[in-house]
């Protein structure tokens, strides 16, 4: 994981925010200006506060669905790009184009550095573009290829490019701030609602708020981890997949 990337801050805030809100609520309930009234209260009727929890649950589900789909899209794009690379390698071998092998290696090496949070990302993308153009140029000008074979090679290269474009789109895509703000605000309001329902029993307040805080933190962590898949869950991709593929194909 790149600890200077945005997901690091998201993960830190995902843990710190719910815990901070819970500690503030505990302090207010124990020694705040409304502490005497809260401690004498028998608690408010729970069903009147379920709407806040329902809204939090809906927002959490929608946001987690978004980032889950993003992670799936990232994996699919890497796999599609790898499949196209395998096909190009096999076609080059079958049609006696050994000059494509070093170009595919160059492409894989450049693509492996296309981390959107790396300082080398712009240069890596330019290097990948140049490697792809060299592949297309080599295929286009290869002597002795049948037209059908040439077209198939070019279409396979185009599939590899489309998969790369999808991968870069997913890598650059981040959850907008308003969605983060919504889940944090609704989660904090739910913590307040849970506390108000259980006022009058300090043990119940602490246990109920603590349990929801754990669930709140877990939801934020899931969103933070899967929001930037190429920084966390797929931190070594696509380089690991590409290099393993080339080594496997060269050794076969």
Q: What is the 3-state secondary structure (H, E, C) of 56-113?
A: HHHHHHHHHHHHHHHHHHHHHHHHHHHHHHHHHHHHHHHCCCCCHHHHHHHHHHHHHC
Residue 230: pLDDT band with limits 50, 70, 90: confident
Residue with tokens 């994996």: 75
For the segment 154-178, the average pLDDT, to the nearest whole number, is: 91
Residue 94 has pLDDT above 70, yes or no: yes
Question: Sign (positive/negative) of CA torsion 191, 70, 236, 112?
Answer: negative
The overall average pLDDT reported for the chain is 85
pLDDT exceeds cutoff 90 at 12: no
29/148: higher pLDDT: 148
Among 123-127, 165-169, 223-227, where is mean pLDDT lowest? Answer: 123-127
Q: How far apart are CA 42 and CA 233, in angstroms?
A: 46
Residue 246 and residue 104: Cα distance in Å, rounded? 8
Give the model's confidence band at 114: pLDDT under 50 very low, under 70 low, under 90 confident, else very high.
Answer: confident
Q: Which has more confidence, 199 or 179?
A: 179
For residues 21-38, give the mean pLDDT: 79
Whether the CB-CB separation of 65 and 73 falls below 8 Å is answered with no
Span 48-86, pLDDT tens digits: 677 888 899 999 999 999 999 999 999 999 999 999 999
Whole-number pLDDT of residue 189:
93
State pTM to two decimals.
Answer: 0.81
Q: Two tokens at 29? A: 């309930």
Instruction: Please report which residue ranges of the chain form alpha helices under DSSP H.
Output: 6-31, 35-40, 50-94, 100-112, 121-141, 147-172, 177-197, 202-227, 239-251
**Domain map (residue ranges) of the chain:** 6-251
Whether the Cβ atoms of residue 112 and residue 167 lie closer than 8 Å to each other: no
Handedness of CA 137, 140, 145, 149 (dihedral sign): positive
């Amino acid at each position: 994981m790149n600890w200077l990337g945005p997901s690091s801050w998201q993960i830190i805030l995902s843990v710190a925010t719910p815990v901070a809100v819970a500690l503030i609520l505990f302090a207010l309930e124990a020694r705040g200006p409304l502490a005497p009234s809260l401690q004498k209260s028998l608690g408010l009727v729970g069903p009147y506060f379920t709407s806040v929890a329902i809204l939090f649950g809906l927002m959490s589900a929608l946001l987690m669905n978004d980032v889950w789909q993003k992670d799936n899209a990232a994996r699919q794009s890497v796999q599609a790009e790898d499949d196209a690379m395998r096909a190009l390698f096999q076609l080059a071998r079958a049609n006696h184009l050994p000059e494509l092998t070093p170009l595919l290696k160059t492409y894989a090496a450049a693509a492996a550095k296309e981390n959107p949070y790396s300082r080398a990302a712009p240069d890596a993308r330019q290097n990948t573009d140049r490697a792809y153009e060299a592949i297309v140029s080599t295929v286009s000008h290869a002597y002795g290829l049948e037209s059908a074979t040439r077209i198939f090679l070019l279409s396979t290269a185009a599939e590899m490019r489309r998969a790369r474009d999808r991968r870069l789109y997913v890598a650059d895509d981040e959850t907008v701030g308003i969605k983060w703000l919504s889940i944090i605000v609704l989660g904090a309001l739910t913590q307040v609602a849970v506390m108000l329902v259980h006022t009058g029993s300090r043990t119940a307040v602490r246990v109920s708020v603590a349990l929801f805080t754990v669930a709140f933190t877990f939801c934020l962590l899931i969103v933070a981890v899967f929001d930037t898949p190429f920084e966390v869950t797929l931190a070594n991709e696509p380089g690991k997949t590409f290099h393993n593929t080339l080594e496997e194909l060269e050794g076969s």
